Amino acid sequence: MNQGFVIDNGRCIGCHACSTACKSENQVPVGVHRTWVKYVEQGKYPDVRRHFQVTRCNHCANPPCVRICPTAAMYQRSDGIVEFDSDACIGCKGCMQACPYDAIHIDPETHTAAKCHMCSHRVDVGLEPACVVVCPEHAIIFGDLDDPTSEISQHLGRKEVAVRKPEQGTSPKVFYIEGAEVNLRPGVAQRASQGMFGDVIDDEHVIGSVGTSAAPLPGTKRHPRTEVRTGASQGLPEAGPLNLGGRMSEHMVQEAFNVQHKVPWHWPIAVYVTTKHLAGGIAMVLAGLALAPGVAVPPALMVGGGVLAMLGLAVTLGLLVYDLERPDRFFFLLVRPQWRSWIARAAWILTSFSAVFGGWWFFSMVTGPLPPGAQAALAVATLPLGWLTATYTAFLFAQAEGRDLWQAPHMPAVLTAQAIGVGATALAALGFLGTPTAVQSILLGIGAVGLLAGGLIQVVGDSTAPASENGRRALHSLRRGAYAPHYWGGLALGALLPAVATALGLPALALPLACVGITVGAWAWLEAPQQIPNS
């Protein structure tokens, strides 16, 4: 059995019966949506057409939200339905970043992920989903795609259908008859300055169409950990003319209504990129010194560097827990990990790193220099764990398939160089602890080269535009649009200036510059792709 939907856009009248039935059946709170009807108007008065599209989770055959979920709270059933378990969700919001369709939201009451699940509780007892039952035009067809006699298979066999974003490789199982490209491709339609409906989000903002900047309601304020996506206000390039049926449409194409989604990840992620660099970078450099022939790690440097590294690790863990919508369930990452997820892997990487490097640092502090064999063994174990601590964010971002810019293959190299540069600079800044001149010179050289290399790899890697439209728009916003000051400023502060300061023997100046610059650059890299609409 392989359940799916066919949406007949030629029959849909935009009545929102499916949306209201979904809310009623599944007790969906106000301000979030499991299914909604997108309106796009095309043409020039008096020849104007309004396109309707029922929009929801695509129940992909290859669901990226399932792979990234660290606790298997998002999972795929044997009948193909992509279901969620709110009792297992920790609210990491990784599934929202992985979804290329903006189909997942955080339930404001349970603070866990939620989305369309095909009314699985009804399907399990032989009933159709609520949206199918209430549709007055029978525009929503549900059934088994593997059954050639089912109504849905009959429609697919004799009618031309389209899916949203087939290039993502997710194999969506929501098929559209008469699917208008202006609806299927987000970002094509112009954003109306005023929507035809007002939609309340979080009881804080009244919103018209996607891309409309909404004003706070009286007596309210923006939640510090979420933000309403404002689309065109983020310095994104305007969508070009749309090729429809072999000709260039010169007519207006405008979204009249769409549900607006939030930016899930914010400054805590950017800050902990830097704090992980501090922890992992210091550990890698100390391990490298310990394994280098003829170089002895000064005991005071081991202790002082360990203090900075463990402080960076503690802040990292604190930010990781803080950013969860359900921080009380943080331990789920350790007791019920889903091993394909880099979020789950990250929890175990940080745990293992704290045990190995923390043990090395603690025993060095309590007992003094360890025997050469023990120190070499701990250094060998620390090197890969320090590297993974500093760079796992690149692999985690690569799993977030809804943000095409984050698939950049050069990011592991960028994070590696940055971490080594920050770690060496931090250790050089501790030169007052009596670091020998030879070791200090090595640290200053590694710091300058690492920081400069990280910036150069970033600039060169980002010069190649991503293949997807969303990726190109995000890169434009990052390098030439709204986030360009943060991007280029972050490179100057995080690479060029601290590299110069380190080369001049001023690591105490270079370290804060590098930390601030890397954080600012990471924030821009984090935010720009999240402003691109996926629905």
Give whole-number Cα distances, 274 to 217, 280, 394, 421, 430, in Å.
35, 10, 13, 11, 18
- pLDDT value, residue 222: 35
Strands 227-228, 262-263: pairing kind:
antiparallel
Q: What is the three-class DSSP state of 205?
A: strand
Tell me which of 2.60.40.10, 3.10.150.10, 3.40.1370.10, 1.20.1630.10 is the CATH number of domain 267-530: 1.20.1630.10
Instruction: Mark the ranges of the chain whose per-residue pLDDT is less than 50.
Output: 198-250
Tens digit of pLDDT for each residue in 413-432?
999 999 999 999 999 999 88
Q: Residue 45 corresponds to which tokens in the numbers above? A: 């008065």
Which among 295, 279, 303 is positioned nearest to 438, based on CA atoms? 295
Instruction: Decide: 201 and 195 in contact? Cβ < 8 Å.
Output: no
Q: What is the three-class DSSP state of 393?
A: helix
Please list the residue range(s) of the chain that carry CATH number 1.20.1630.10. Answer: 267-530
- pLDDT value, residue 260: 60
Tens digit of pLDDT for each residue in 239-288?
444 444 444 344 678 888 888 667 899 999 999 999 999 999 999 999 99
Q: Is the peptide bond before 136 cis (omega within 30 degrees of 0)?
A: no
CB atoms within 10 A of CB 103: 27
pTM higher than 0.85, yes or no? yes
Q: What is the three-class DSSP state of 102?
A: coil
Q: What angle do CA 19, 24, 25 make, to 5 degrees?
A: 100
Beta bridge partners of 254: 41, 190
Topology, domain 3-263: Alpha-Beta Plaits (3.30.70)
According to DSSP, residue 128 is labeled P
Give kind and range of the element (H or E) at residue 35: strand 35-44
- pLDDT value, residue 497: 96
- End-to-end CA, the chain: 28
Please list the residue range(s) of the chain that carry CATH number 3.30.70.20. Answer: 3-263
**C-beta pairs of 224-228 under 8 Å, 24+ apart in sequence:** 225/266, 225/323, 226/202, 226/262, 226/263, 226/264, 226/266, 227/262, 227/263, 227/266, 228/201, 228/260, 228/262, 228/263
What are the residue ranges of helices labelled H in 222-298? 267-291
